[in-house]
A = this chain, B = another copy of it.
Amino acid sequence: MAEPRVVGILSPGDMGSAIGRVLREGGLDVVTCLDGRSELTRLRAAEAGLRDRPLDDLLAQADIVLSVLVPGEAVALAETVAQAMKRSGARPVYADCNAISPQTVRTIEGIITGAGGTFIDAGIIGAPPKTGAGGTRFHCSGPDTSAFQALGRHGLNVHVVGREIGQASGLKMVYAASTKGTTALWTELLVAARAMGLERTLLAELGADNPVARQQLAGIPSMPRRARRWVSEMEEIAATLAAIGLPPRMLEGAADIYRFIGETELANQTSREPDPALEQILETLASIVQGRTAH
């Protein structure tokens, strides 16, 4: 395809607005759709310099649309977009960048190609990107990934995983299992240690020179504010494993843990506030389970 000039981003949360800012600073026109979005999302989009348009306008103007949202909303968005494409005749390239299983991404491929669109599988590994940083990798796969690869010339760090839909998502799934799955396990065992009065003994036993322990402990404070959207991500990984023929329960359990944390006040924080201390997180969670089991 010709070099994209206009990129649509749905929706501009932490990740989406950061991508939009990088692409805008990289010379592209970035549009989004704020219908029904929160004040915080509107603020983020305005700060990132994204233009707000109704969905039909966005699809008519954009050369490529990036779907970047909570994994559990990915299919519904694709259906909304496919209906709008059929209605309006707009045919942007649609790249699903969400943390979803290869199975779910193939479902979305069917929805988009069924409406006449071109589909690209994509997976984002890393924090919301910043211009000039490049640490966040944007993996893509599919028979024709050229429109997504073009974004690599406007500030994103793009890698092509292969020619099949499902490869970029599959990579995202196993990578997320290694990071967020491990964080779920370590959060749970630290809360258990604290609830049993054994947290200090455990930390001494793990040792300050244990790089796994150090990295896991450091990763917990930024987790609670993201726990709610990690529930469906863990469920997507579980589905990925089950489809391969591997037992899904570890990742279903990780979803349980993020669901529990997502129901606490800790999950109400935003990325604009300082993260709570590890100590505060463990104390809050241990107090809740101890309050429950005491009754």
Contacts from A to B (Cβ < 8 Å): 102, 125, 137, 139, 161-162, 166-167, 170-171, 173-175, 177-178, 181-182, 184-186, 188-193, 195-198, 201-202, 205-206, 211-213, 215-216, 240-241, 243-254, 256-257, 260, 289-290, 292-293
Closest to A290 in B: B245
The reply to whether A213 and B249 contact each other, CB–CB distance below 8 Å, is no
15 A-B pairs within 8 Å (CB atoms) are namely A161-B198, A161-B201, A171-B198, A174-B202, A177-B185, A177-B192, A184-B250, A192-B240, A192-B244, A195-B246, A212-B212, A244-B289, A246-B260, A247-B256, A250-B253
CB distance from A155 to the nearest CB of B (A): 20
CB neighbours (8 Å) of A170 from chain B are 192-193, 196, 198
Do most interface residues of chain A lie in helix, strand or loop, or is the interface mixed? helix
The reply to whether A244 and B293 contact each other, CB–CB distance below 8 Å, is yes
CB neighbours (8 Å) of A102 from chain B are 196
Complex Cα gap A177–B254 (Å): 13
CB neighbours (8 Å) of A178 from chain B are 185-186, 189, 202, 206, 212-213, 216
The reply to whether B184 and A289 contact each other, CB–CB distance below 8 Å, is no
